[in-house]
Structure 1
């Protein structure tokens, strides 16, 4: 590298099975014509250009990019990028993946069909990406700090690009949001209004898309979810019927017993005894 070129980067040596994890981060002023690919990544990778220019190519499309532009590389999608020969770019980047990564990226509106964005170069995105590099490391504390920095960076992109993302959100994505909310909150005193609000849609819209994608109303889904959780707790045999009822969002034990019997065919007390007998036989 010449004195004008530099690269500062960090790559996580191993990845735990997490919902979201930073794989790499860095800042680089590239040499003239410096390139990567065509190849694939096994993770999401977002670059943001802070000076110079270059070309990003994916799916037969070629994008000429410069200061303030950014691009997304999607896992398993063949892509390439190269710095300009006269004004090579300098960029910051972060790579990440995990079971929650796609949903996070989807909220920005970026995808392999729409991989380019522009964010006025005011130093904010550059600062957020640099912050991730500044706390990089392989310890659990460093990984947590890197993840926190990633969330802040992605939140800024969602705020900046989110309106377009909301317009493209499909019915199934709303269902996924609602189901995730139920999964996290079924033990609390929630109702369908709360579920619809969490997905950002009306109760009537929530009903229509649940019938379309799940083949049951959302209130029925919530009830069945709670009963299945209750059955699992009863089967474990560590809690009383009353404790199970309160642990799965039922404040009225008698109502819980009626609903449980309707779904499982027997009252919860009998179900509990049956499972205890099965475990001792």
Structure 2
């Protein structure tokens, strides 16, 4: 086995319905013929080829890739990818998911019909992904920093997308998400959201289902529960105070909703140790 073969990665275990969350990131020098798949991921996963060559098979198509190419794996898509036998690739990656991920990815050059893109300059993509990996950690500071770096990375992808025809339905969704993120702790409902956006409740429902795959009411509920999870992990506030902070004036109702989504009660969730990220670096020599 070649001595230069290695894999360094960081994986998180926190998977609440946050607006966007990093699942994993890393860098790997593959051995000749190294193969992953066929298989599926439950999140978006972007690889950038630093050096060498390899092939990527997705949705019935095969792509031959080399240094500078970037490819995406969509959630639920059956894919496989393998390193070249004579010039095995080295790549870096970042995986992420969350309520905002689908909307943001629609504004990048990637699509299921075009899962491979060559950005100019490609070094900017490598730098952005490696910055996320190097900043990874289990502290609240590192978590916030990596999310910020992920947004910067996605903005870099969006900058290189061709100018799309304006899609008002997407703008409505973005406006609704912004309103929710700034007002979720108050007594808002779907009627308040649709009024703020300026469309009917039924129209808001249709555009949310189109772009998010969920209803605005479900998005609001999961957003509130995600905020409650953060408070349960990072504070010592009583459940009643956390319920109020997440927009629920009825603690019992909040507890029922929380258990339905998270599988455990708020009290038990907090007692389980305020789940934090754990590093899982590995190296092959």
Q: Which has the higher contact order (CA 8 A, sep 6+)?
A: 2
Gaps of 5+ in 1: 187-198, 200-205, 216-235, 237-281
Cα drift, residue 44 of structure 1: 0.5
Gaps of 5+ in 2: 184-196, 206-248, 250-285
Cα 1:172/1:9, change in 2 over 3 Å? same
Match of 1:173 among 170, 173, 194: 170
Cα drift, residue 137 of structure 1: 1.2
Alignment correspondent of 1:29: 29
Alignment correspondent of 2:12: 12
Mapped to 1, the partners of 2:66 and 2:79 lie a distance apart of: 18
Aligned residues of 2:109 and 2:160 also touching (Cα < 8 A): no
Mapped to 1, the partners of 2:122 and 2:46 lie a distance apart of: 18
Matches within 5 A, 1:1-281: 2-161=2-161, 163-164=162-163, 166-167=164-165, 170-183=167-180, 213=203
Greater shift, 34-43 or 104-113, is seen at 104-113
Post-superposition CA distance 1:199-243 (Å, at most 9, x none): 9xxxxxx98xx799459xxxxxxxxxxxxxxxxxxxx7xxxxxxx
TM-score of the aligned structures, taking structure 1 as reference length: 0.62
Mapped to 1, the partners of 2:16 and 2:180 lie a distance apart of: 23
Post-superposition CA distance 1:43-102 (Å, at most 9, x none): 110001111111111110111111111111011111111111111111110001111111
TM-score of the aligned structures, taking structure 2 as reference length: 0.61
In terms of fraction of residues, the more helix-rich structure is: 1
Paired residues in the alignment total: 199
Mapped to 1, the partners of 2:100 and 2:72 lie a distance apart of: 16
Larger radius of gyration: 1
RMSD between aligned residues: 3.2
Aligned partner of residue 174 in structure 2, secondary structure: helix
Cα drift, residue 135 of structure 1: 1.1
Aligned partner of residue 99 in structure 1, secondary structure: coil
Mapped to 1, the partners of 2:174 and 2:150 lie a distance apart of: 21
Mapped to 1, the partners of 2:149 and 2:175 lie a distance apart of: 26
Cα 1:140/1:37, change in 2 over 3 Å? same
Mapped to 2, the partners of 1:148 and 1:181 lie a distance apart of: 17
Cα 1:184/1:147, change in 2 over 3 Å? closer
Aligned partner of residue 129 in structure 1, secondary structure: helix
Aligned partner of residue 148 in structure 1, secondary structure: helix
Cα drift, residue 175 of structure 1: 3.0
Aligned partner of residue 76 in structure 2, secondary structure: coil
